[in-house]
Amino acid sequence: MSKPRKPKGRPVSGWLILDKPADFGSTEAVSKIKWLFNAQKAGHAGTLDPLASGMLPIALGDATKTVPYVMDGRKIYEFTVTWGEERSTDDLEGDVTQTSTARPTEEAIRALLPRYTGVISQVPPQFSAIKIAGERAYDLARDGETVDIPSREVEVHRLTLLKCEKDQAHFEVECGKGTYVRSLARDFGRDLGCYGHISLLRRTYVAPFAEETMVPLADLVALEKIEDRDERLAALDEFLIDTSEALAALPQIRVSEDQAHRLRMGNPIILRGRDAPVAEPEAVALAAGKLVAIGEIAGGEFHPRRVFT
């Protein structure tokens, strides 16, 4: 019987909050970070289009277990809509499909925004990762097919007009999971009778990570010049954020090292003390400030669902 293959790379864990440059794909960015950190595992929390720049949270090692919690968080984007053209991709990369010489007034734009705030119905772009009959919409669109994508409900918490120019308008939006900013631009243009597409897009926030935690890719690549491998990796690791930071919104309990050992073995523990929670559908267990497990509190016990080494 053959031995299981040893994973390549280091068992390094944590979050790297990358400031992704434009014209650089999200998958490409993850591969680059995984290589730089010599990490065994890596993944990202929410794709950014190649055209877009800004915050791309990348999980390394055990942090990949917390990706769903970050993907569900709120996001903030700054974006520019250029009027007069609708494009196949709803951004600069696509072919022009509709044109107009009309231009909206600032008053008309401001009057439109309340209609796009709150829970709204939105049709994703033709070039999107939505699956239609088991295939990605963008694959079908690249083959020349027009895809009938059903509308979906998304939530826009805040939508602000930052600046208005003759041919462009600049916005900031805070939105929930699944919101397509490209669709906002397309629908703005249609409602205003002038057509429009995204010409600039930058993500500045993915809950719970703040804008100041972003690290430019150039800063990481610059460390490649450090010849000593251990020194180079140690310098890179300084940019990592602890895995538990992704779970800041969940209730937290403190456990002893003995309890942590039981949890890591998959066993529940009894929570004692008058302040111990009786029931929580999802909570985090920490030992000496380090993440031990995500689990459920029921009947005065913590039951682990996902454990961390």
List the structure tokens of 7: 């994973």
Query: What are the distances in angstroms from CA 309 to CA 264, 270, 302?
Result: 7, 21, 17
Helix axes 26-37, 229-237, angle to 10 degrees: 130
What type of residue sits at position 193? G
Residues 6+ apart with CB under 8 A from 289: 244
Cis check: omega of the bond before 150, within 30 degrees of 0: no
Residue 210 phi, psi dihedral angles, 5° rounding: -80, 160
Rounded to an integer, what distance in angstroms lies between the CA atom of residue 293 and that of residue 108?
51
* Catalytic residue from among 19, 23, 49, 95: 49
Angle ∠(153,124,69) on CA atoms, nearest 5: 60
List the structure tokens of 281: 């559908």
Mark whether 143 is an active-site residue. no
Residues 6+ apart with CB under 8 A from 142: 127
Residue written as token pair 């205003």: 192
Long-range contacts (CB closer than 8 Å, 24 or more residues apart) made by 95-104: 98/195, 99/195, 100/193, 100/194, 100/195, 102/192, 102/193, 102/194, 103/166, 103/167, 103/194, 104/169, 104/192, 104/193, 104/194
Residue written as token pair 């509308």: 151
What type of residue sits at position 129? A
DSSP at 241: B
Question: Which positions are annotated as active-site residues?
Answer: 49
